[in-house]
A and B are shown apart, each in its own frame.
Chain A
Amino acid sequence: MIENHYDVIVIGAGPAGLTAGIYLARGKMKTLILNEGAVGGQTVLTHEIANYPGIEKISGFQLARNMKSQAVSFGCTIKSNINITKLSVNGDVKSVEVNGKDIFTSDSIILATGGKSRSLNVPGENEFKGKGISYCATCDGDFFQDKNIIVVGGGNSALEEAVSLTKYASSVTIVHQFDHFQAFPHAVEEAKNNPKIRFLMESKIIEFSGNEKLERVKIGNQITKEINEQAIDGVFILIGYEPNTQKLEGIVALNKRNEIIVDEHLQTSIPGVYAAGDSITKRYRQITTAVADGTIAALNSIEYINKKRANMAA
Chain B
Amino acid sequence: MLQTNLTHLTSEEKFNQTLKENENVMVCCGRMGPMCIPVYEAMEELESTYKNVKFADMEFDSQTGNLIRSLPETKNFNGLPFTVYFKNGKVVKATSSIQSMDQITNILDSNFGK
Chain A interface (Cβ < 8 Å from any Cβ of B): 37-40, 44-47, 59-61, 80-83, 129-136, 138-140, 143-144, 212-213, 234
Contact = CB atoms under 8 A, between A and B. Distances in A.
3 closest A-B pairs (Cβ-Cβ)? Answer: A130-B96, A130-B97, A130-B79
A235 B101 CA distance: 25
Contacts of B35: 135-136, 139-140
A45 B41 contact: no
Given A81-B42, A130-B96, A134-B97, A44 B77 contact: no
Interface residues of B, number: 23
A186 B24 CA distance: 52
Interface string B30-61: 01111111100110010000000000000000
B80 interface: yes
Contacts of B38: 37-38, 44
A144 to B, nearest CB: 7
Contact of B33 (A129, A130, A139, A213): A139
Contacts of A37: 38, 100
Contact of A131 (B3, B36, B37, B79): B79
Contact of A130 (B42, B78, B100): B78
B102 interface: yes
Given A38-B42, A81-B101, A131-B96, A139 B80 contact: yes
Which of A38, A80, A133, A140 lies at the interface centre, i.e. has the most chain B CB atoms within 10 A of its CB?
Answer: A38
Contacts of A144: 78
